[in-house]
Amino acid sequence: MTTKTGTEINVNYVDTVGFGADVGGRGFHLPVDLSVRSDGRVFVINRSPMHRRGIRVGICDVAHGWYGEFGSDGKGDGQFTSPTAITHGPDDRVYVADEELNRITVYTPDGEYESKWGEVGSAPGQIHGPSALKFTAEGDLLVVDHQNNRIQRMSPNGKYISSWGKPGFGEGEFNLPWGLDLDASGNVYVADWRNDRVQRFSPDGEFIDMFGVHGNGDNQFNRPSDVAVDDDGFIYVADWVNQRVQVFDAGWNFQASLRGQATVSPWAQEYLEANADELDARSRFNPYIEVDTDVPHEVSARVEAFFWDPIAVEIDPDGRLIVADSLRHRLQVYKRA
């Protein structure tokens, strides 16, 4: 669903990719972040705290191809216990952050373990609850150091370069930041989670501006968890508690609010066609039922097509917006017209 207010753009629903797979295999279980490789393959972190076998990275594409998975629950090399973030480096190596183990694990482009680094603490170069990762054009890795309320710039092998931010509510200060992205000019956008806003910084970490206040109206946020910026400067914010993605232009002018409009993915359709009773029941199902509440989380829990905890957003090489629709174990795909 797209809502516009005096705007000149449309953000159109394209497709749904996914299927609930809580112990591994084709599909997702509580996806919390994603990264798109240069060839368009999508790497999805599955958090899966209830079924530990489901903790892994799944690889797919927006055309419903499935290319396997890697990683597992544990503290050994190549494993993770509470993965939060994933990104690709300039050479397509994969970097995964773990907020419990306080480390970054590095894999080959195809998911083979290579190395790990990270030490818990608050000193320069130490991390406490890393929640987002993105590479700069220069090849440095930006780490959202969630519990330390700062952004750290690191080398790909974990050498400290610089940092900015401190706890607080003022300009350049953070209260449990979570997601981030960079625009085509290298400016850094940070989802300042508990401050209910997004802050924008220069490539060197100098404060530029901030946008958002607490609320559920247009231009307001309730625990924004991620931000993505496309090549034309349009900004997409995962407004987590409000169960939506808001879209703005580069000047923070409101463009659209996406509530989700998922359809049955081919993976799910295969399952239904193999189970006649469920296929029959599905033929009578209304994905947009009327509900007796206006609490966004409760509405999302009952209306299958809507986002239910949209936690991460990413722009793929073709300009499509991919939303990690966490509690529905799927990705919803959109494209700006």
Indicate if the pLDDT at residue 264 is higher than 50.
Answer: yes
Write down the mean pLDDT value for the chain.
96
Can you tell me the mean pLDDT for 253-274?
A: 96
- Interval 177-230: pLDDT, tens: 999 999 999 999 999 999 999 999 999 999 999 999 999 999 999 999 999 999
Indicate if the pLDDT at residue 14 is higher than 80.
Answer: yes
Query: According to the model, what pLDDT value does residue 53 have?
Result: 87
Beta bridge pairs of residue 138: none
Indicate if the pLDDT at residue 2 is higher than 50.
Answer: no
Indicate if the pLDDT at residue 82 is higher than 90.
Answer: yes
CA distance 152 to 281: 51
Query: According to the model, what pLDDT value does residue 8 have?
Result: 62
Query: According to the model, what pLDDT value does residue 299 have?
Result: 96
Indicate if the pLDDT at residue 5 is higher than 60.
Answer: no
Q: How many CA atoms lie within 13 A of 126 on its CB side?
A: 9
CA distance 207 to 310: 27
Residues with Cβ within 8 Å of residue 276, at least 6 apart in sequence: none
CA distance 172 to 209: 9
- Tell me the CA distances in angstroms from 101 to 75, 120, 192, one per residue in order: 7, 8, 23
Indicate if the pLDDT at residue 98 is higher than 50.
Answer: yes
Task: Assess contact for 180 and 134: CB atoms under 8 A.
Answer: yes
Indicate if the pLDDT at residue 51 is higher than 90.
Answer: no
Indicate if the pLDDT at residue 4 is higher than 70.
Answer: no
Can you tell me the mean pLDDT for 27-55?
A: 94
Query: According to the model, what pLDDT value does residue 48 have?
Result: 86
Biggest CA-to-CA distance, the chain: 59
Query: According to the model, what pLDDT value does residue 157 have?
Result: 97
- Interval 140-165: pLDDT, tens: 999 999 999 999 999 999 999 999 99
Ramachandran bin of 241, using left for φ above 0, alpha for ψ from -120 to 50, beta for the remaining angles: alpha
Query: According to the model, what pLDDT value does residue 28 have?
Result: 97
- Tell me the CA distances in angstroms from 66 to 19, 92, 179, 255, 292, one per residue in order: 12, 18, 26, 33, 38
Indicate if the pLDDT at residue 3 is higher than 70.
Answer: no
Can you tell me the mean pLDDT for 113-135?
A: 98
User: What percent of the chain has a predicted confidence (pLDDT) above 70?
Assistant: 98
